[in-house]
Structure 1
Amino acid sequence: MGHLTPALSPDSQQAVRELLQEGESANTQRSYQGALRYWAAWYALRYGGAAALPWSPPVVMQFIVDHAQRATEQGLSHELPASVDAALVAAGVKAKPGPMSLNWLIHRIAVLSKSHQMAGVSNPCEDPLVRHLLSQTRRAYAKRGQLPVKKDALTKAPLSALLASCDDSLQGRRDRALLLFAWASGGRRRAEVSSADMRHLKRVGEEAYTYQLAFSKSNQSGQDRPENDKPIQGEAARALTAWLSAAGITSGPIFRRVLKGGRLGDGLSAAAVRDIVKKRCQLAGLDGQFSAHSLRSGFVTEAGAQGIPLAQTMAMTSHRSVATVMGYMRTQTEQARAAANLMDADLEPKQG
């Protein structure tokens, strides 16, 4: 097969425009666009035409079995033909040949479902057979021990190692302030860090700030909530003051590019925030899988380990669901370890 240039149908193009109008972050927009490009390219190779909405449930089921591995007598297998796989790689919509992760598959299905919802057409992802197949696929991966991969948490100890890698240069001061701002204010997402602006930062006394998180993933309508104001205190406040003073920032983006000669550039992108976290992890010599989201899971995990009430943790992270915030726990908390040691606890009754 020759080089493939995937093209979205008019319906899919309209779905993309509507998705982008929702006010999602730039990172989410790129994620949606990449997923839809892959869907279009796969459909063109599998069915020989442009992918027009709505899709039928059998097409979605074909996509699932093409990309989900299953156990056979010959070992793990999936249905994506090698020629189609090679063409997808040649088209630049797939990084390398071979099966994809369960996370990847679930994300692609979610994006297809969203595109149908926004187009106002029948959603094949809600078909009972499709839902059952996806549910059983998750279960099959779980039985094989192939759970969705979660990044490691940057709790207090590894975060301290990252901070130790930050010197007193302008870039070092920025990175130190960024890491502490993101972590100590509740584990901010990278898009929230890159969009942090001086107009939302308020000085409180000599060594403290509050940052008003006017827009977030959990508050996309910008509702005025008490938990919108995130306290920045102690070491995090001192690092922020040092950065703002050294950089001379009084308005605009809080975290910016540092150019040659110590000149300031534009505000950081969400991708740059991710790169800073990864760079500092590498400089600190940390082993594990870390990303910008490790700051968020690290904050939640550390709060649990230190016995912070869940309600207080959720007020900082802005989570609205207990189940969601608990999903960020990466290690056993002190309470969990205590519960696991019930048999070893002092069984002597207390004297009244």
Structure 2
Amino acid sequence: MNDKFIFPCSKEEREKILQKYGEYLEINLSEKTRLLYQKACRLFERYCDSRGIQAFPTTPMTLLDFAHINVTEGLQGRPLSMNTVDLYLKAIHYKNIHLGFRSPYHDYLVTRVLRGMRRKHGTAQKEVKALLASDIKKMIDACDNSLIGKRDSAIMAIGLAAALRRSEIINIRIEDIEIVKRNRPTDPERAFLHIRQSKTDQEGKGRKIPVIQGENIQAIKRINEWLQVSGIESGYLFQTIPHKKLSGNPLDGKDISRLLKHYAEMVGMDPTMISGHSLRAGFVTNATMVNARQDKIMAVSRHSSRDSLSGYIRDEDHFTDHAGEGFL
């Protein structure tokens, strides 16, 4: 067997496997990730072609040279962030494996050189503002009664109430919302939001998020109002509205960031500190401020560990219930 191949089977058997089960390889990544990887590999192949070197199988030196030139100079006149370069390298790694070649990505020297590049050329990730419930309430109140206004208020409400990523918001479909039957007429409204697939759920197992009505944000009420005025009965919950009419097409992730910045500026906040992630960060920050149990926070935010959850705690929250309050 050619030692460039890592599969415990012959080349002929591998071809049979690909022929029979190739469709599963096509869908083992999310559509978004697959497209990003394809774009990254095309850039890498053009880079190799321009230098007369072989792209696949990739050698350790070729991988490091590609990473270095992108993070220091850039192939189009400006250096790329180390996060972007890391994405490119993962795409190259994935394609090597897919083709049956050994990938240099986890080579001992390669991993340490890349770690050094991250230390030297990486930049601290800008921390966006976590939107507090009071912020969101002001932003929702700034929405008018138009079709767009009703849609945007529902987006902000459910985005905070379910700690959603912007990719999750734009992919919500009508059938993903499950209203929970009340035991008594006086009971508050509750619902489950079914997330089909998300950033950390590449296999598409899905998650079910408990959503409560609450007294301030009232996400379920705002969703119902949006459904009533829009008349949407199936398909994407949040659609683009060109010429004041529903298109049937979902919003783009950038639309979520834009609308949050728009309403933040309307209520006197700095829009440069707001991103599509401000809603998700806001849920965790708000819950932490009211001393919610971490397991209950994680039931909504779907963080896999307490360590990953702690990264969402903003500076001001580190002083709440400070360990030294009783004696300092």
Aligned 8 A contact 2:28 2:203 in 1 = no
Q: How many Å separate the matches in 2 of 1:182 and 1:158?
A: 13
The 5 A counterparts of 1:246-265 are 246-260=229-243, 262-265=244-247
Give the distance between the partners of 2:171 and 2:155, measured in 1 at CA. Answer: 12
Q: Which amino acid counterpart does residue 345 of structure 1 have in structure 2?
A: G
Task: Flag the 1:313–1:119 CA change in 2: closer, same or farther, 3 A.
Answer: farther
- Aligned partner letter, 2:167: A
Could you say which residue in structure 2 is the equivalent of 1:345? 326
Aligned residues: 297
**Secondary structure of 1:256 counterpart:** coil
Q: Judge conservation of contact 1:211–1:232 (CA < 8 Å) in 2.
A: no
1:269 and 2:251 are equivalent in the alignment: yes
Shift of 1:216: 2.9
Letter in 1 for 2:118: R
Q: Are residue 24 (structure 1) and residue 30 (structure 2) matched?
A: yes
* Residues 169 and 220 of structure 1, relative CA distance in 2, 3 Å threshold: same
Q: Secondary structure at the match of 1:209?
A: strand
Report deviation, 1:318: 1.7
- In the aligned structure 1, how far is the partner of 2:87 from the partner of 2:227? 38
Match of 2:52 in 1: 48
Which stretch of structure 1 is more off in the superposition, 212-221 or 293-302?
212-221
User: Among the aligned pairs, what percent are the same residue?
Assistant: 26
User: Is 1:184–1:299's contact at 8 Å kept on the other side of the alignment?
Assistant: yes
> Shift of residue 122 of structure 1?
0.8
Confirm or deny: 8 A CA contact 1:18 1:118 kept in the other structure. Answer: no
**What CA distance in whole angstroms lies between the structure 1 residues aligned with 2:28 and 2:120?**
34
Matched, 1:178 2:155: yes
Structure-to-structure mapping, 1:230-245, within 5 angstroms? 230-234=210-214, 235-245=218-228
Are the counterparts in 1 of residues 28 and 202 from structure 2 also a CA contact under 8 Å?
A: no
Match of 1:134 in 2: 114
CA contact (8 A) 2:155 2:169 kept: yes
Structure 1 Cα separation of the partners of residues 303 and 100 of structure 2: 29
Give the one of 296, 299, 307 matched to 2:280: 296
The DSSP-based 3-state class of the residue aligned with 1:112 is helix
Q: CA deviation at 1:129?
A: 0.9
Q: Distance in 2 between matches of 1:188 and 1:19?
A: 28
Describe the shift of the 1:201–1:127 C-alpha distance in structure 2 as closer, same or farther (beyond 3 A). Answer: same
Deviations 1:12-57, CA, capped at 9 Å, x for gaps: xxxxx9875224143x344323322332233333x235x5322100
Letter in 1 for 2:112: H
Secondary structure at the aligned position of 2:295 is classed as helix
CA distance in 1 between partners of 2:201 and 2:291 (Å): 26
Q: 2:137 aligns with which of 160, 163, 171?
A: 160
TM-score w.r.t. length of structure 2: 0.78
Tell me, yes or no, if the aligned pair for 1:141 and 1:147 is still in contact at 8 Å.
Answer: no
Tell me how far apart the structure 1 counterparts of residues 98 and 35 of structure 2 sit (CA, whole Å).
17
Change beyond 3 A, Cα 1:60–1:148? farther
8 Å contact kept, 1:305–1:332: no
For structure 2, the residue ranges without an aligned partner over 5 or more in a row are: 1-22, 183-187
In 2, distance between residues paired with 1:190 and 1:315? 18
* Aligned twin of 1:310: 294
Whole-Å Cα distance in 2 between the matches of residues 218 and 183 of structure 1?
Answer: 19
User: 1:253-304: per-residue Cα shift (whole Å, max 9, x none)?
Assistant: 21112232x4221132333334433433444443233321222222222222
The answer to whether the aligner puts 1:217 opposite 2:194 as a matched pair is no
Q: CA RMSD in A?
A: 3.0
Structure 1 gap segments, 5+ residues each: 1-16, 69-77, 90-96, 348-352
- Would you say the 8 A contact 2:174–2:233 is kept in 1? yes
Does residue 34 of the first structure (1) align with residue 14 of the second (2)?
Answer: no
- Conserved in 2, the CA contact under 8 Å of 1:201 and 1:209? yes
Superposition TM-score, scaled by structure 1 size: 0.73
